[in-house]
Amino acid sequence: MSVPNSTPNSSANFLQTLQDLMRRYEDAIIKNPSLATRTESILKFASYIVPGYFSGGGIGAQRLSELGYCISNLYKLLNDYVISKRCHSSTKINYLPLPQQRLLWLLALMENTEVVLELFGDYIYRDFGKWVVILWMRLIKAIMQCIVIFKYRSCILASPPVPSVERNEATLNQTNTIQQEPHDGQPAAYLGQRTGKVIRSIHSELQVVETQTGTRNRNRDSELNTKQLVAEGLHISRPLVHLFSMVLFQESSWKPWLVSLAMDVIRATG
């Protein structure tokens, strides 16, 4: 007698449960963004006081502190992503092409985790592991930054890659609420009676398309010229050139710093 395999059903139920929990969390963040901000501040403050809590501090306390700081930054990044996804006008990058948005979010994720990964590599393989992690992280970031700059040519990379997300509670709640007032005789959105899903009307979609088109036109007018592209290329390649200079001239030499300084001067005066 064969026993039915319930593994696919269990996996599907687990994924559905995770999706429901994430949807509830998103609703809670949109309704009360100030709570998320306070929680982020508490996590960041805890990462500052951890080294003083342990007697003598040491490398272990430093790693724990960096881990706590990384967790607080990742939690903030998650909340920013949730808000930007639910409120389209909360951040400027929402009007960029979708692949470019994903690259910028990935760059922000890498910036918030690279220090912890370096410490992890140093813990496992000592100094060699740390430098391997640094090299690979810088190489991957440089490739992604080059794609953003040279393919889309629409913005100068900022630090952090994703600008601050607007967390005005009144604005978020207003955006998250289904507008009942008709626009030119048509409702802004419909609520499906069977599925419970919110579907925006054609008039509402046209307004979004007009806004995005205007933003794209502004981005097209402000595309980077050749001089700006060269300057951004020097800025992106500078960390890698510095690393290879350290290998070539040794870590204790001033030459890698002088090479980096020269690249910065050329980029600024070019």
- Mean pLDDT rounded to a whole number for the chain: 76
Mean pLDDT in residue range 225-248:
88
Give the whole-number percent of the chain exceeding pLDDT 70: 70
Same domain, 69 and 158: yes
Mean pLDDT in residue range 212-223:
49
Same domain, 46 and 74: yes
Same domain, 218 and 229: no
Same domain, 152 and 208: no
Same domain, 234 and 261: yes
Q: Is residue 258 part of a domain?
A: yes
Same domain, 62 and 26: yes
* Confidence at 141, pLDDT banded by 50, 70, 90: very high
Q: What is the DSSP string of 160-200?
A: SSSPPPP--HHHHHHHHSPP-S-BTTB-SEEE-TTT--EEE
Same domain, 69 and 132: yes
Cα dihedral value 185, 189, 190, 192, nearest 10: 170
Same domain, 150 and 27: yes
Same domain, 30 and 101: yes
Show the domain range for 55: 17-172
Same domain, 56 and 122: yes
